[in-house]
């Protein structure tokens, strides 16, 4: 049937059409939890786009995206007494159809792996069984993998990764910045904190009810590695580590306030079993490109040290706070990004007067092959050199979608972004 719409008929037709559309929109509004919205404030390279796929979800930390596109996120603080977020796009149209919240523990780590959803609190690791669509079968029945991990309230995020052999590598960060003896300014020798923190421990993913003592210390001298990743190409563990602080506060005779603001580097390592990254005895000076003796152990900003400690693969400006690390294995992004590393920086650098961005490190043959660069910028929403208001977003978690898109979540406003090419 053909419609011959004359001018007198046009308003009636539009009214009918709008009525139909209104009904359809009302039906869709019941179904959709959120629809993607372009976010032009985030600055990305030419050819890329940024969408907001969800917001107002709480203090989001790490995230994992399943093969079917379900998004699981851990929260550092409970919201409505729940710690985990589950987002589903059931009809694969790019919009979130359903949001679920479950789990009684706040935390950081989360990973879909071999038929389970693994999550961490600040002192333990759990798992939930998944069906063949990577959906949690029973949100009220987590299984305990390991408990009793040190939690002193500071730098207590238990981020983790897994290898091909079902080993879990969990960060136990140090609650002490420098392992000082009381307030004397002198460091403990040896640093007894290293017995239970300041490193990465290995556990079995398929063994229930383990305690801290059932694991083994895989690497030590790692102050706080919130950003870790298992590189499938090299079959090895990588970590971007938070550095220490307070040089000028405790040792003004050796360090200026400017040096304290700009030292030490945040560092990227490839970590093998038995490695020692040197904390608290040494730190890395990115200006001198050297490992330096920490002042608590006799250093004065000039004495090099740490011959037994591993060297970082790359050094970043101080206080950027690397909070997640992802090796890109998709094909959506251009060739230069494939097998390279994305790092979510959660802080800001006094040296750069920039922060709250996603960096990219190109890799070739399992090693960095060029300088790092800022990939996605302006999450802060303000000029950090001349701040004019509050920070808008602090990127924290990274995940790769089944289509090769990069997901980013942040912990100020509970926003999830999708970066596509």
Tell me: pLDDT of 56 over 90: yes
The percent of residues in the chain predicted with pLDDT above 90, rounded, is 85
Report the distance separating Cα 194 and Cα 61, nearest Å: 25
| Phi, psi dihedral angles at 23 (to 5 degrees) | -60, -45
| Phi, psi dihedral angles at 367 (to 5 degrees) | -130, 155
Could you tell me the two tokens for 50?
Answer: 């940024």
Through-space distance between the first and last CA atoms of the chain, rounded to whole angstroms: 42
Tell me: pLDDT of 5 over 90: no
Report whether 142 contacts 209 (CB < 8 A).
Answer: no
Tell me: pLDDT of 13 over 70: no
Report the distance separating Cα 214 and Cα 55, nearest Å: 39
Strand segments, DSSP code E, in 176-306 are 199-204, 210-211, 216-220, 227-231, 236-241, 266-271, 282-285, 290-293
Report whether 239 contacts 228 (CB < 8 A).
Answer: yes
CA-wise closest residue to 231 among 181, 269, 287, 276: 269
Q: For 148-184, write each residue's pLDDT tens digit.
A: 999 999 999 999 999 999 999 999 999 999 998 876 6
Q: Residues 205-209: contacts with CB within 8 Å, 24+ apart?
A: 205/113, 205/114, 205/116, 205/118, 205/127, 205/145, 205/162, 205/166, 205/167, 205/168, 206/166, 207/145, 208/143, 208/144, 208/145, 209/144, 209/147
CA-wise closest residue to 125 among 140, 139, 111: 111
When pLDDT is averaged across residues 323-334 and rounded to a whole number, the result is 98
Q: Set out the domains of the chain in order of their start, with CATH numbers.
A: 41-420 (2.120.10.30)
Sequence-distant (6+) residues with CB within 8 A of 136 are: 86, 102, 117, 128, 129, 130
Q: For 206-216, write each residue's pLDDT tens digit.
A: 999 999 999 99
Q: For 85-123, write each residue's pLDDT tens digit.
A: 999 988 877 789 899 999 999 999 999 999 999 999 999
Could you tell me the two tokens for 329?
Answer: 């294995």
| Phi, psi dihedral angles at 331 (to 5 degrees) | -120, 0
């Amino acid at each position: 049937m053909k419609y011959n719409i004359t001018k007198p008929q046009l308003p009636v037709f539009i009214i009918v059409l709008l009525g139909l559309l209104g009904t359809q929109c009302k039906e869709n509004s019941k179904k959709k939890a959120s629809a993607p919205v372009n976010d032009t404030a985030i600055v990305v390279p030419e050819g890329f786009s940024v969408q907001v796929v969800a917001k107002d979800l709480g203090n989001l930390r790490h995230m994992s995206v399943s093969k079917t596109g379900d998004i699981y996120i851990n929260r550092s603080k409970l919201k409505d007494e729940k710690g985990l977020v589950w987002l589903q796009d059931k009809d694969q149209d790019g919009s979130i159809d359903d949001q679920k919240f479950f789990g009684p523990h706040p935390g950081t780590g989360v990973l879909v792996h071999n038929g389970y959803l693994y999550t961490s609190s600040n002192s333990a690791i759990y798992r939930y069984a998944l069906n063949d669509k990577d959906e949690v079968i029973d949100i009220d029945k987590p299984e305990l993998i390991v408990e009793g991990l040190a939690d002193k309230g500071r730098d207590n995020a238990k981020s983790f990764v897994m290898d091909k052999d079902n080993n879990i590598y969990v960060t136990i960060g140090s609650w002490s910045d420098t392992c000082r003896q009381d307030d004397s300014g002198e460091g403990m020798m040896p640093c007894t904190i290293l017995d239970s923190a300041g490193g990465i421990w290995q556990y079995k993913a398929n063994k229930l009810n383990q305690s801290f003592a059932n694991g083994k210390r895989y690497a030590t001298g790692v102050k706080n590695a919130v950003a870790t990743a298992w590189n499938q190409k090299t079959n090895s563990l990588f970590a971007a580590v938070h550095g220490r602080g307070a040089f000028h506060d405790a040792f003004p005779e050796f360090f200026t306030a400017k040096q304290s603001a700009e030292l030490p580097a945040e560092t990227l390592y490839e970590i093998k079993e038995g490695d020692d990254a040197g904390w608290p005895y040494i730190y890395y000076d990115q200006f001198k490109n050297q490992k330096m003796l920490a002042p608590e152990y006799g250093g004065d900003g000039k004495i090099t040290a740490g011959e037994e400690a591993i060297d970082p693969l790359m050094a970043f400006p101080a206080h950027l706070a690397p909070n997640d690390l992802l090796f890109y294995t998709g094909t959506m992004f251009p060739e230069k990004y494939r097998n390279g590393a994305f790092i979510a920086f959660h802080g800001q650098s006094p040296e750069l007067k920039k922060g709250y961005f996603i960096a990219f490190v190109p890799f070739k043959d399992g090693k960095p092959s060029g300088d790092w660069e800022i990939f996605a910028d302006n999450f802060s929403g303000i000029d950090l050199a001349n701040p004019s208001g509050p920070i808008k977003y602090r990127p924290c978690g990274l995940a790769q979608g089944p289509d090769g898109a990069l997901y980013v979540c942040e912990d100020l406003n509970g926003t999830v972004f999708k970066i596509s090419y």
